[in-house]
Structure 1
C-alpha cells in the first residue's frame, strides 16, 4: 500500500498543472497539422515513450496483476477514450482560437470534481463548498444567457477530464503502468487511422524529414510526464484538493490567449470567469478554515 505523502502530492500536482498550462505554446507550433492527426501521433509517440519508461523504471508484477484482473483493462480502456477525447477537444480549441473557452473549462473542472465526489464517491459538502459550486453554475448559466448557447468546449473539457481523474483514482493500477497501458490500448486505433488516411500530412514521405515530425515525437514525453505526475499526485491528495490546484493551468492558458495570441475577453465571458473565480476563492477559503480547525484540535 502506498504511504500518503501530502507534500509529495502537492509537488507532483504543481508540476503537472504548470506543464499543462504551457501546452498552448506547443500546440500552436503544430497549428499546420489537423487536430485529429495530432492526437493520432500523440497516442503513437506516447505509447512508444511509455514502453521506454517501463523498460527503465521497473514496476514488478504490474502485468501479472492485469492478467489476473482483466476487468482492469476495461477500466483503462475507458480512461484511454476519455483522455483521448479530452486531448482532441483541447487541441482543436487551441488551434481554432478558442483558448479562452478551454481555459474556462479547466476552471470549471475542479468544481466538476467536487460534484463527482458528492454524487459518486459519497463525499459530503459543507456550506461554503455548496456556495462555490453554486457560483460556478451561475457562471455557466450567465454565459448561456448572454451568448445564447452552452459553452460546449468548456463543459466537454471539464467533464472528460473530471471522469478520467475519478476513474483513475479508483482503478487499483500503479500510475505509470496504468497510463502506459491506456496509450497502448489507443495504439491500434491510431495505426488504423494512419492506414486509412494515406493523404494525411504524416502519410507523405517528405513529412518524415520535416520539423513537424520532431515536434510530434515530443508529444510522447510532453504528454506522459504531466499525466504520470497527476496520477501519482492523486494517490497522495484528496480528489477535491487535487482539483483545486488546477487553477494554475487555466490561468496560464488565459494569460497566453489574451497577451500572446490576441483573443478578446469580452464582458459576457469575463462575467462567467468572475463567477468561477469567486467559486474558487470560496472553496479555497473553506479548505483553509477547516485545515485551521484540524490544527487547533
Structure 2
C-alpha cells in the first residue's frame, strides 16, 4: 500500500522557515569578526586566499551532490555571463579583503557602518544604473545616510574610506549579480573558481618566501580551512531564505549582521565610540528606520509569490 504524499508547505510555514534560514545566515555574517579575530597573526590576504580555496572545494561538493553542474554550464553559455561573473568576483574579493583587514586592524565599527550604509547605497545604485524610481521617502533616507558619512569624513577623514569601500563594493557586487542569469550557488561557485587559481598561486609564493602561516599549528589550520564554511554556508542559507520570504522581510533581517558587528566592536574589542561615531550612526540609523518602514509598507502591498 503506497504511503500518502506529504502535503505542500503552506505560505505561513514557508515564511517561518525562511525567517529561520535568514536569521541563521545573518547571524553567521554578524559573528564573523569573532572568527577572524582568532587569526590575528595571519595576514588578511592569506585569510582571504584560504577562504577562496576551501570554499571552492566545499561548493564543488555541494554542486555535485545537488546535480547543478548542468544548470551552471547552461548559464555560462548565456552571452556576457562569464564576463559579468569575472567582474562580480573582483568586487566580492575586494570586499572580503577590506573587511578582513578592517577587523584585524581595529576598525570593526567602520566595517559595521559600511553594511549599515549598504542598503541605502543599493537604492542609489538602482536609481543610477537600473533607472529605478526613487521614492520620496527613500530619498530622505539616502540623504540622511549621506549626511552621516559627510560628518564622519569631515571629522575623521581617512577612517571613512573603509565604510564607503565596503558599502560600494558589496553594492556593486549585488548590482552585477542582479543582472546575471545564474543562481546564488552557481554564481558563487564560478566566482570562487575564477579567483582560486590566483589564491593558490599567492599561497604558493608565500610558502616559497617562508611566510605561509598554514601548517604552523593545528588551531590556525582549522580556522583557515573553516573559512570555506563560513564563506559559503551563510550564502547558501540566504539563498534558501530568499525563495521563501518577501524582499522587504529580508531587508529588515539584514540589519542583524551589522548590529552584531557594531556591538562586538564596542563591547568585546574595546573600540572607542566617539561623539562623531554617535552622530554618524544616529543619522544613518534614522535613515534606515525611515527606509525600513517604507520597505515594509511597500512589501505589504506586494503579493507573495509562491515558492519555486
TM-score (norm 2): 0.85
Counterpart in the other structure of 1:264: 272
Distance 1:135 1:180, change over 3 A: same
Counterpart in the other structure of 2:81: 72
- The range that moved more, 194-203 or 238-247, is 238-247
1-side partners of 2:298 and 2:76: how far apart? 43
1-side partners of 2:77 and 2:35: how far apart? 39
What is the number of residues matched between the two proteins? 289
Post-superposition offset of 1:290: 3.9
Distance 1:272 1:57, change over 3 A: same
Q: Does 1:227 align with 2:232?
A: no
Post-superposition offset of 1:175: 1.8
Counterpart in the other structure of 1:95: 104
Q: Does 1:160 align with 2:169?
A: yes
1-side partners of 2:247 and 2:296: how far apart? 16
Counterpart in the other structure of 1:172: 181
Q: What 5-or-longer segments of structure 1 have no aligned partner?
A: none
Counterpart in the other structure of 2:7: none
Counterpart in the other structure of 1:250: 258
RMSD (CA atoms): 2.4
Deviation digits for residues 108-149 of structure 1 (CA, Å, limit 9, x no counterpart): 001001111222222222221111111000100111222234
- The range that moved more, 209-218 or 29-38, is 209-218
Post-superposition offset of 1:267: 0.3
- The range that moved more, 164-173 or 88-97, is 164-173
Contact 1:80 1:186 in 2 (8 A): yes
Deviation digits for residues 257-282 of structure 1 (CA, Å, limit 9, x no counterpart): 11111111000111100000000111
Q: What 5-or-longer segments of structure 2 have no aligned partner?
A: 1-10, 304-308
Counterpart in the other structure of 1:195: 204
2-side partners of 1:237 and 1:230: how far apart? 10
Post-superposition offset of 1:155: 0.3
Post-superposition offset of 1:235: 5.9
TM-score (norm 1): 0.88
